[in-house]
Structure 1
Amino acid sequence: MNYQIKASSLSNEDAVIHIKESNIDFGTTPKTAEISPNPAELFLGSFAACMLKNVERFSSMMKFTYSKATLEVNASRLENPPKMDNIIYNLTIYSDDKKLNIGLLKKNIEKFGTIYNTIKLSCNISGTIKTIENV
């Protein structure tokens, strides 16, 4: 598999990532630092997208149903060298399905997630998966 994206920016303005038919704005200037995602947050967003895509993928393969999944990701950054040092996630799956095997799901996400596996080569990743029954 190969992937391709495009990105563009104007001097003293923010930037845009162009992916298929989507455009994702992100901040590159101090004036939008508090309102637009920065590159580090987009990086974590990619990690989150990988995990949530795999929840959907493995729900079919593992034959469980869920109504919703939410994910919180926190990371710390080293200054020297500048890099992500530690990522902690908390994944919550809303499901009443007794066939949902959280341990196996976590193992599959960690083994087969493309972004997950790329990141774990240079950064510590830890996290939890829990279920909440649908209301």
Structure 2
Amino acid sequence: MEYRVHARRIDAHGSLAVAKEAEVTLDTDLAGRRDAMNPVELLLAALAACMLKGIERVTPMLSFQIGGAEVALEAIRQDAPPKLTLIRYEITVDSAETDQRLDLLHRNILKYGTISNTLSGAVPMEGTLTRKV
């Protein structure tokens, strides 16, 4: 598969990325902006989307019953050289499945995720999958 995104600078305060018929405003302002995601936030959003899409892909194969899912992520960044040194995540699912089945879901989300596999090869990732209380 191939993926394509086109991005262009709008002005000193932001840029626009386009893929298919979707547009995302990018925070490329040196001062930052509250109404758009910066590059690290976009990376984390891509990872969250990958994990949520993995849930959608895996649950029918495992006959897994789920009422909902959420992903919370954070990244630790060093300044010199600028790079991420750790990504933490917490996947929360609304499900009555057993703990063993939750563990199976977690392993499958990570095993079959394009973004999670790519990032885990470059940045340490740690996290959990827990049941919504």
Q: Give TM-score, length-normalised by structure 2.
A: 0.91
Greater mean deviation of Cα atoms: 123-132 or 7-16: 7-16
1:43 shift after superposition: 0.6
**Alignment correspondent of 1:116:** 116
Structure 1 unmatched runs, 5+: none
Runs (4 or more) in structure 1 with deviation over 3 Å come to: 97-100
Look up the SS of the partner of 1:10 in the other structure. Answer: strand
Report the residue type matching 1:40 in the other structure: V
Structure 2 unmatched runs, 5+: none
**Alignment correspondent of 1:86:** 86
% identical aligned pairs: 32
CA RMSD of aligned residues (A): 1.8
Alignment partners' CA distance in 2, 1:7 and 1:33: 18
Q: Give TM-score, length-normalised by structure 1.
A: 0.90
Q: How many residue pairs align between the two structures? A: 133
**Alignment correspondent of 1:105:** 105
**Alignment correspondent of 2:33:** 33
**Alignment correspondent of 2:77:** 77
1:127 shift after superposition: 0.4
Alignment partners' CA distance in 2, 1:4 and 1:19: 6
1:96 shift after superposition: 2.8
Write the deviation string for residues 10-40 of structure 1: whole angstroms up to 9, x where unpaired.
2313111101111011111145523321011
Alignment partners' CA distance in 2, 1:132 and 1:13: 39
**Preserved contact between residue 10 and residue 16 of structure 2 (Cα < 8 Å):** no
Alignment partners' CA distance in 2, 1:35 and 1:4: 24
